[in-house]
């Protein structure tokens, strides 16, 4: 399943992100999951990892939840310790 990094420039709070994460199972369609986020609260930048069949489905989820985002990047994960990319 393809991975995506969604970049948000938004003043999310810790509490808001926790609430969104708890609610996610209720609104994400099958085959889509929010894996984790890296948050720069001072700079209002957030980098969220998602798994989805394609970018179009992911955009629909973000639009449905009125989640502002700047960019979506399809990515491949590399394990730096093993020096290997995950299988496609």
Quick: pLDDT tens for 4-46.
999 999 999 999 999 999 999 999 999 999 999 999 999 999 9
pLDDT band at 88; cut points 50, 70, 90 = confident
The DSSP string of the chain is: --EEEEEEES---HHHHHHHHHHHHHHSPTT-EEEEEEEETTTTEEEEEEE-S-HHHHHHHHHHTT---SEEEEE--EETTTTEEPP-
pLDDT at position 39: 98
**Which domains are assigned to the chain?**
3-83 (3.30.70.3090)
- Using CA atoms, how far apart are residues 23 and 35, in angstroms rounded to an integer? 14
Give yes or no for residue 87 having a pLDDT over 90. Answer: no
Q: How far is CA 64 from the centre of its chain?
A: 14
Tokens 């996610």 belong to 24
Overall pTM > 0.85: yes
């Amino acid at each position: 399943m393809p991975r995506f990094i969604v970049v948000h420039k938004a003043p999310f709070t810790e509490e808001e992100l926790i609430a969104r994460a708890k609610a996610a199972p209720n609104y994400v369609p099958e085959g889509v999951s929010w894996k984790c986020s890296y948050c720069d609260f001072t700079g209002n930048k957030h980098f969220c990892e998602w798994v989805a069949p394609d970018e179009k489905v992911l955009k629909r989820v973000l639009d449905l939840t009125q989640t502002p985002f700047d960019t979506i990047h399809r990515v491949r994960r590399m394990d730096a310790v093993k020096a290997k990319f995950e299988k496609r």
